[in-house]
Structure 1
Amino acid sequence: MNFTQLINKGLLGEPALLLGFIAFFGLLLQRAPFQRMMNGTIKTMLGYVLLQIGASAAGTSLSNLSTIIQSGFQIIGIIPHNETIVALAQINYGQEIAVIMLIGMVLHLGIARFTRFKYIFLTGHHMLFMASMLAGLLVAMPLAAWQTYLFGGIFLALSMSFGPAVIQPHVRKVIGSNDFAVGHFNSAGYLIAGWIARLVRSKEERETSDKLKKVQMFFQDHMIVISVFTFILFLVSGFFVSAKGFGEMFSGRHYLVVSAMQAIWFAAGVFIILAGVRMMLSEIIPAFHGIAEKVVPNAIPAIDCPVLFTYSPLSAVAGFLLSFAGGLLAMALLYSYQYTVIIPGVIPHFFSGGAAGVIAYKLGRRRGLIVASLCHGFLVTLLPIFLIPLLSGLGFIRATFADSDFSVIGVIVHWLLKLAFHG
């Protein structure tokens, strides 16, 4: 295994192994009994794998929804999808990505150890995404190889340290403590969603009418709500696709059957995600205290954004739907001006929009959830417009980076280096 594979396909290529190793190391530092170390390590890994299984099930359903929408509206454009563009970046810049990640991780741990920014970024795949974006951006500039590695590593480390820090006040409001932070490169989106939610928050929540209470009785189980609303979403989207086109996409099955089954697949995926998150958090946080005590005093683990879903599952689903609606509005605006059309990616809106929805509801209640989630979706769909021209080294492809920080950091890095090297 060469150096590039060691970084990209080693521990960081398997986030479950990385988290399991951290749990084991933390419990070892606490001198926990062997059985406790095994339990904590395996349950941490199992929790993350459950999260991946749930994300895969929900993602398959959402990919089908995206296909239906694109077929129905016949719009061709650029889709924000991290995995697609990262795969291309790794083919072209594998060595640069690996070195940037290595330097970035070392500097990030140094920042956590010697400054007040005590966040340890544990979302391995987002580390890879950001390193890929930085490599694609820096290689396109007139820099020596060592400058690409050094600047890439510095900006990656700063992103991993400051991203969780800027949204921690919002996260603290959601979870009620500093037990963990969110390590997900949509910090700008979460920050703005929280600000807007606070700005438009109702002074008082209206009392629920008796009729509405009777309806709410039916929707007390959030899995029922998720299933029903997803079914309606598929049903409405299917209206815009011809019967022949729908049949070709789903092997001749009727769209009512497809809508029902896709809704159930999505709900099942969400259920597994929530179960996995609960199991992972119950083990990784106590284990992490060993690292916080011995290696980086007062360290806070920064974990992937689905950790917020368990605090308000209905807000997460509402945030996803409203964020996606905001993305469709942004797409319509771009289309009307004959500009580069960004087609909102359903999967990024599910994860980022869902977490933004939880933050917005906790900070702004119902009105905050609605307004902030719509604005979030509109913003994260427009932002890639500014990043796409900077990644010319990757060529023209119908994909780009999805979450807000990639665009924000990409533009800032490009501006700083252009200022430094060209005056």
Structure 2
Amino acid sequence: MDILLGLVKTPAVIIAIVAFLGLLFQKASISRLITGTALSFIGFTMIKVGGSILMKVLTAFSALFSKAFDIVGVVPSNEAIMASTIDKLGATAALILLFSMILNILIARFTRFKFIYLSLHLVLFMAFALTAVLMQFGFSNYQMIIICSLMIGTYMAVSPFILNRFSREIIGSNEYAISHAAISSYIIGSYMGKWFGNKSTDTEHLNISSKFDFIREPNIATLLTMLVLLLISCIFATQPQVKDAMTMVYGAGAGDKNVVIFILEQSAIFACGLYLAKPSC
């Protein structure tokens, strides 16, 4: 019984069960059932592993940047924060994801909001964020599951409906719609495009020099961005501050590394962590 309860409380197992039930209701083949369930389990584990990598790099970078420019702040990252709280909030957040999906399906079936939200990794981030906030106010697990499931499940059905009036002009049909956690920026951008844009021009048709094709690769863009940020931080930080940041990453082996290797290696590790932490859901 203890083993069974331990499995049910494990976030990755709950996600796998959700995937299994979804495929089962779709009458998927045995092969697809096994593959989908296993990949869901692996995918959630990848988020945890990738987030842990991000957390380590971001902790060192945040400390270095804050000391270099004498400011106090945080470096937000959905994946990193989720990885740091997954053991404490993971089971609750996973159950919120399950009940939010069920509510989304019910709303789509019985109301005018006929959309199913498919970006489940974003829903999972929302579940973690809301759970963390409500926990600070002293809500119990049952209360958090009910409140968050109602809020997120409603959002999952309503947000694509709101954006559908804009997306169907681009797509040309109501076959599918677009939604995202940044729905407010989508709405603002849609109105800005309507008022000031020109439908005869399309960013997809812009001619960009082949010299900059490498920027289209997300992993390279991430690596370069982190490289620039670390380089700037190291330039403005003192040598002891840089050594402190390197010690956070390398521990006792910090003395064997030079600054250039530190910048290059941590930029690559950050890109690797972000790649692992963003599996398709």
Range into which the TM-score falls when normalised by the shorter chain: 0.5 to 0.7
Distance change (3 Å), C-alpha of 1:264 and 1:248: same
SS in 2 for 1:21: helix
In 1, distance between residues paired with 2:47 and 2:23? 22
**In the alignment, residue 271 of structure 2 is paired with which amino acid?**
A
2:241 — aligned with what?
Answer: 245
In 2, distance between residues paired with 1:129 and 1:259? 30
1:411 — aligned with what?
Answer: none
2:130 — aligned with what?
Answer: 130
TM-score (norm 1): 0.45
Distance change (3 Å), C-alpha of 1:231 and 1:160: same
1:119 — aligned with what?
Answer: 116
2:162 — aligned with what?
Answer: 166
Query: Displacement, 1:77?
Result: 5.0
Residues 320-359 of structure 1 mapped to structure 2, 5 A cutoff: none
In 2, distance between residues paired with 1:60 and 1:268? 12
SS in 2 for 1:245: helix
Distance change (3 Å), C-alpha of 1:133 and 1:250: same
SS in 1 for 2:188: helix
2:212 — aligned with what?
Answer: 216
SS in 1 for 2:236: coil
2:266 — aligned with what?
Answer: 262
Query: Displacement, 1:239?
Result: 1.8
1:73 — aligned with what?
Answer: 69
Deviations 1:330-382 (A, max 9, x none): xxxxxxxxxxxxxxxxxxxxxxxxxxxxxxxxxxxxxxxxxxxxxxxxxxxxx
Query: Displacement, 1:264?
Result: 1.0
In 1, distance between residues paired with 2:159 and 2:246? 41
1:53 — aligned with what?
Answer: 49
Distance change (3 Å), C-alpha of 1:262 and 1:201: farther
Distance change (3 Å), C-alpha of 1:115 and 1:227: same
2:20 — aligned with what?
Answer: 24
Residues 96-107 of structure 1 mapped to structure 2, 5 A cutoff: none
Query: Displacement, 1:133?
Result: 3.3
Alpha carbons 1:171, 1:181 under 8 Å: kept: yes
In 2, distance between residues paired with 1:178 and 1:157? 21
Alpha carbons 2:18, 2:98 under 8 Å: kept: no
- Percent identical among aligned pairs is 22
In 1, distance between residues paired with 2:95 and 2:277? 32
Residues 253-332 of structure 1 mapped to structure 2, 5 A cutoff: 253-273=257-277, 276-277=279-280, 280=281
Alpha carbons 1:227, 1:263 under 8 Å: kept: yes
Distance change (3 Å), C-alpha of 1:52 and 1:151: closer
Q: Which runs of 5+ in 2 are unaligned?
A: 248-254
Alpha carbons 2:53, 2:273 under 8 Å: kept: yes
SS in 1 for 2:209: helix
Alpha carbons 2:20, 2:36 under 8 Å: kept: yes
In 1, distance between residues paired with 2:231 and 2:166? 35
TM-score (norm 2): 0.63
Distance change (3 Å), C-alpha of 1:259 and 1:245: same
**In the alignment, residue 127 of structure 1 is paired with which amino acid?**
A
In 2, distance between residues paired with 1:26 and 1:102? 10
Distance change (3 Å), C-alpha of 1:177 and 1:66: farther
2:32 — aligned with what?
Answer: 36
**In the alignment, residue 116 of structure 2 is paired with which amino acid?**
Y
Query: Displacement, 1:245?
Result: 0.9
Q: Which range moved further: 71-80 or 164-173? A: 164-173
**In the alignment, residue 244 of structure 1 is paired with which amino acid?**
P
SS in 2 for 1:119: coil
Q: Which runs of 5+ in 1 are unaligned?
A: 140-145, 281-423
Alpha carbons 1:119, 1:165 under 8 Å: kept: no
In 1, distance between residues paired with 2:95 and 2:37? 28
Alpha carbons 2:16, 2:41 under 8 Å: kept: yes
Kindly indicate whether residue 183 of structure 2 is the aligned counterpart of residue 187 of structure 1. Answer: yes
Distance change (3 Å), C-alpha of 1:128 and 1:62: closer
In 2, distance between residues paired with 1:239 and 1:162? 47
**In the alignment, residue 260 of structure 1 is paired with which amino acid?**
L
1:396 — aligned with what?
Answer: none
Kindly indicate whether residue 226 of structure 2 is the aligned counterpart of residue 230 of structure 1. Answer: yes
In 1, distance between residues paired with 2:231 and 2:261? 10
